[in-house]
Amino acid sequence: MQIGQWTFPNQVFVAPMAGVTDRPFRQLCKRLGAGHAVSEMAASNPALWDSVKTARRLDHTGEIDPITVQIAGADPEMMAQAARYNIDKGARIIDINMGCPAKKVCKVAAGSALLQHETLVARILESVVQACAPHGVPVTLKTRTGWDRDNRNALRIAHLAQATGIAALTLHGRTRADRYEGQAEYDTIAEVKAAIDMPVIANGDIDSPQKARAVLDYTGADAVMIGRAAMGRPWIFREIDHFLRTGSTLAAPQLIEIRDLLLHHLQDHYAFYGEYTGVRTARKHIGWYMSNVPDGATLVTSINAIDNTAEQARAVAHWFDQASARNTEAAHRLAA
């Protein structure tokens, strides 16, 4: 899998998700087999660049190249300025967001709202590509199949993207109106892939190695992008990569490995966000991990009352230690 001059180790990518795919999470996913990860969406408005939230989203300390930064906005020149700003901050690929269905993004005519304005889409793509070209930085586009089911225009957007020099296209198999509801459809992705020459990355409802293989075969896409299925389950990337390469499935991680992964993730998370924000934003990650663990809800119900990082980490470790002891005791009873 290649985008511009960059070659990736596999065809399993991490989707950009606001509030999820921060630097600690991206680095963890890469350690666990993701071939590439795209940053959280960064605003193109210069007035927001000095905010704490944007500063964190543009913090790529310790990440290996190519660093990909996703930018969002509706003004072509502002988007070009944002691209140049992020290149100065270390971006090696710029990704344009035209897929986010969130109301706060669409109400300012950004994200997937742009799919209603194809002329503006073309102007934004041209502006960003031209801004990145002198730096040798490829530009990618993430979008949806259309505004709603009666207005699917992904094929026209794809042709615009190819004509303006976009290096790769990620296509989520839903319209903006669908948000994340219902089933993703892959017919449009297959149609787009058959019609253009650039790499196409399939996104939407890919939650298992078998589903990844089926989507790649059906659409002809060059890679898959995993979003919600990786929340609390970052090992899904190694599972998919292994299955795509060998056709065999990896064993699910043991409780002790999940414990160690979560605790390591928490320490990176605390260091990144600090005490006050870290303990609070970690709660959602703990909840996602525990949804994949038998009886995990027993920890989740108590974790929200903890307001310091050290105690939170101790509570997680204690829960897993007790669960392991219970499993060992049960195994001994069965053996007897």
131 is written with which tokens?
A: 């801004």
Residues 130 and 53 in one domain: yes
Out of 225, 246, 267, pick the residue that ends a domain: 246
Q: Which residues of 239-251 are buried (b: 16+ CB within 10 A; e: fewer)?
A: bbbbbbeeeeeee
Spatial separation of the C-alpha atoms in residues 13 and 124, rounded to whole Å: 24
Residues 260 and 240 in one domain: no
pLDDT of 45 reads 79
Q: What is the DSSP secondary-structure string of 96-148? A: EEE----HHHHTTT-GGGGGG-HHHHHHHHHHHHHHHGGGT--EEEEEESBSS
Spatial separation of the C-alpha atoms in residues 202 and 72, rounded to whole Å: 20
Q: What is the pLDDT of residues 181-211, one digit of tens each?
A: 889 999 999 999 999 999 999 999 999 999 9
pLDDT of 329 reads 52
Catalytic residue among 29, 100, 106, 132: 100
Spatial separation of the C-alpha atoms in residues 187 and 178, rounded to whole Å: 16
pLDDT band at 42 (very low <50, low <70, confident <90, very high): confident
Residues 201 and 285 in one domain: no
Out of 217, 246, 275, pick the residue that ends a domain: 246
Residues 21 and 157 in one domain: yes
Out of 246, 273, 303, pick the residue that ends a domain: 246
Average pLDDT, the chain: 91
Q: What is the pLDDT of residues 147-184, one digit of tens each?
A: 888 888 999 999 999 999 999 999 999 998 888 888 99
Better-scored residue on pLDDT, 222 or 54: 222
Q: What percent of the chain is predicted at pLDDT more than 90? A: 72
| 319 pLDDT above the threshold of 80 | yes
Please report, for the domain that includes residue 241, its CATH number: 3.20.20.70
| 294 pLDDT above the threshold of 80 | yes
What pairs with residue 152 in β-bridges?
146
Spatial separation of the C-alpha atoms in residues 336 and 288, rounded to whole Å: 35
- For the entire predicted model, the pTM comes to 0.91
Residues 238 and 273 in one domain: no
| 102 pLDDT above the threshold of 70 | no
| 335 pLDDT above the threshold of 80 | no
pLDDT band at 332 (very low <50, low <70, confident <90, very high): very low
pLDDT of 149 reads 84
Structural domain that includes position 102: 2-246
Residues 287 and 232 in one domain: no
Residues 29 and 93 in one domain: yes
Residues 202 and 305 in one domain: no
Residues 67 and 147 in one domain: yes
| 19 pLDDT above the threshold of 60 | yes
Residues 65 and 131 in one domain: yes
Rounded to an integer, the average pLDDT of 107-136 is 86
pLDDT band at 272 (very low <50, low <70, confident <90, very high): very high
Rounded to an integer, the average pLDDT of 238-266 is 96
How many structural domains are present in the chain?
2
Residue 132 among the catalytic residues? no
Spatial separation of the C-alpha atoms in residues 161 and 142, rounded to whole Å: 10
Provide, for the chain, the percentages of residues in helix, strand and coil under a 3-state DSSP scheme, each rounded to the nearest 5.
50, 15, 35
Residues 147 and 282 in one domain: no
Residues 178 and 291 in one domain: no
